Amino acid sequence: MTTADLFKGVSLACLVVTALTAAAQNPSSRGPVASFYDLRTSYLDGTPADLGVFRGKVTLVVNVASQCGFTPQYEGLEKLHRELSGKGFSVLGFPSNDFGEQEPGTAQEIATFCKLTYDVTFPMFSKLVTVAGPGQSPIYRFLGASGHLPAWNFSKYVVGKDGRVAAFFPSEVTPDSPDLRRAITAALAVR
């Protein structure tokens, strides 16, 4: 084997590893995503977030905004998270500036607002785009496949332990809504 042949082999191996790494970091590039928990994003502080850590749990995915008429729902979301987190449940907050530009802040401004105003302890992720189009987040592309996309801030998806959307609730449905609570309880009861 010549040095040139060895170099070609190493180059080919590097290309394969690069392609596999890119596919692992962007599950949507591998075709349809089967589970919400197969997706990756980043936390509000910019660190990588693998949603697979929530696999086997029920999550309430909410597109949040700091300057919206529905922003006081943070209080109920935090209460729900604290009440049910020990039972395999978590609220997941995804800031978005899609509706009325009501989330214009930086990640630090969002984090500070949430902590100081509502003492938010549930996971918050990087700002993303929920609306359909070329800039739409893969997270909301997956959630939208359920037939529902947010029409405004604080829309809610109950995601089951299997990573599939179990229920959708528009902004007006508050965290203490009996219908939302029933959907969460039903999803938690699934084995």
Q: Where are the domains of the chain?
A: 1-31, 35-189
Location of structure tokens 């609306």? 131
Catalytic residue from among 68, 92, 143, 183 = 68
- The answer to whether residue 14 is catalytic is no
What pLDDT, on a 0 to 100 scale, did the predictor assign at position 32? 75
Q: Which parts of the chain sit beneath pLDDT 50?
A: 3-30
**DSSP per residue, 142-173:** HHHTTT---SSTT-EEEE-TTSSEEEEE-TTS
pLDDT tens column, 68-111: 999 999 999 999 999 999 999 999 999 999 999 999 999 999 99
Q: What are phi and psi of 30, to 5 degrees?
A: -95, 5
pTM metric for this prediction: 0.84
Quickly name the fold that domain 35-189 has. Glutaredoxin (3.40.30)
Token pair recorded at residue 20: 């596999």
Burial call 16-36: b when 16+ CB within 10 Å, e when fewer: eeeeeeeeeeebbeeeebebb
Percent of the chain whose pLDDT exceeds 90: 82
What pLDDT, on a 0 to 100 scale, did the predictor assign at position 5? 47
